[in-house]
Amino acid sequence: MSRRNWYLLTNSVVLAWIVLTVVAVTIHRFVPQPMWLMVHVPLLGAVTAAILIWSQHFSDTLLRREAPAGRAGLGIRLGLHTVGAGLVVAGVLGASVPLVIVGASVVAAAILAHAVVLFLQLRRALPSRFGPLVRYYVAAAVVFLGGIAIGATMSAAGDPDLTDRLVTEAPIRGVTATGEAREPPSMTLFAARRAGRRLRSPIGSTGHFARYPRASRCRCLRSSPRASRSAASTDFARRSRTASPSASSRGSSSRHPGPSSTCGCS
C-alpha cells in the first residue's frame, strides 16, 4: 500500500469518530448520559485515534527509523483502540459496568503497546537532534493509562449521575462536606457578566482609582475602563507639569487636580 493510501485509510478512522461526534451531539437529549457521550466520543475516539496515528508518524520522522512493528503494528493498535472505545461507549449507554471495564482494558492495552513500541524505537534509533522529543510521547501514553484507570474506576462506582454533578456543579455552585450543593459566597466573573451586573476593579481603593482621584470621583469614568485610564493619564500628566519645589504647591496640585478634558462631570 502506498504512503498516501495508508494515511487515507488510518485517518478515515478519525473522520468516522468525528461523524459519530456530530451524531452524539444531535441525539444527546435522548440518551441516558448526554454530557458523557458528547465529551468522550470526540476525545476518547477522534482525538486519541489521531494521537496514535500522528505520534507514530512524527516518531518515525524525528528518529529516522521505522517502528519495530511498522504499519501493521500501528494498524493493530488503532483497531484495538477503536474496538475498546466502542465497547466503553456501548457499556456506558447500556449501563453495563463489565462492558465498560473490558473496553477500558482493551484501550489501555493499545496505549501500553503504543508506548512500548515508541520506547523501543527510541532506544534502537541513532542519535538525532529532535529524537529526545519522543520521550514526551511515551510519557503522555503513561499518563493516559492513569486516566483510563480513573475513568474505569468511576464507571465501576455505579453512579454516573454523581460523577456528572461533581464535574458540572462543584466548580460553579460549590459542594458542602455532606455533598449538598450550595450557592457560592460571590459570583464568578463569567456568571456576573451573564447576570448583567457591573463588576468593580479587583484592586479596589488601593490601586488605580486611589492613585488618581479624578477617575474615582467621576461616575461615568468608573463605568468605562478606557475612559478611566485616559483620565488617569491626564491627571498624571497635569501633576507632572504643575509640580514645583514647594511642598504646599505639590500637595495642593496632587490633592485637587483641575477639571479633566476627558469627561464633563466634576
Per-residue pLDDT of the chain in tens (266 residues, 90 and over written 9)? 788 888 889 899 999 999 999 999 998 888 888 888 999 999 999 999 999 999 999 998 888 888 888 888 999 999 999 999 999 999 988 888 899 999 999 999 999 999 999 999 988 888 888 888 899 999 999 999 999 998 888 888 766 565 666 565 544 444 444 444 444 444 444 444 445 544 444 444 444 444 445 444 555 545 555 555 565 566 666 666 665 554 444 444 444 444 444 454 54
Residue 19 lies in a domain: yes
In this structure, are 218 and 113 located in the same domain?
no
Residue 205 lies in a domain: yes
In this structure, are 164 and 212 located in the same domain?
no
In this structure, are 70 and 159 located in the same domain?
yes
In this structure, are 132 and 230 located in the same domain?
no
For residue 16, the model assigns a pLDDT of: 94
Q: How far is residue 40 from each of residues 86, 93, 176, 198, 252, measured CA to CA in Å?
A: 11, 12, 28, 37, 65
Task: Give the whole-angstrom CA distance, residue 153 versus residue 159.
Answer: 11
What SS3 class is residue 175?
strand
For residue 236, the model assigns a pLDDT of: 60
Q: How far is residue 107 from each of residues 36, 84, 113, 141, measured CA to CA in Å?
A: 17, 5, 10, 11
Cα Rg for the chain, rounded, in angstroms? 30
In this structure, are 13 and 143 located in the same domain?
yes
DSSP classification of residue 197: P
For residue 119, the model assigns a pLDDT of: 93
For residue 231, the model assigns a pLDDT of: 59
For residue 223, the model assigns a pLDDT of: 52
For residue 227, the model assigns a pLDDT of: 57
Q: Which domain holds residue 12?
A: 3-168
For residue 162, the model assigns a pLDDT of: 58
Task: Give the whole-angstrom CA distance, residue 35 versus residue 51.
Answer: 23
For residue 208, the model assigns a pLDDT of: 45
The domain tally of the chain equals 2
Amino acid at 81: H
User: Do residues 74 and 56 touch, judged by C-beta distance below 8 A?
Assistant: yes
108: cell is: 489501555
Task: Give the whole-angstrom CA distance, residue 33 versus residue 164.
Answer: 9
For residue 115, the model assigns a pLDDT of: 94
Residue 40 lies in a domain: yes
65: which residues sit within 8 A by CB, 6+ positions away? 121, 124, 125, 126
The model carries a pTM of 0.59
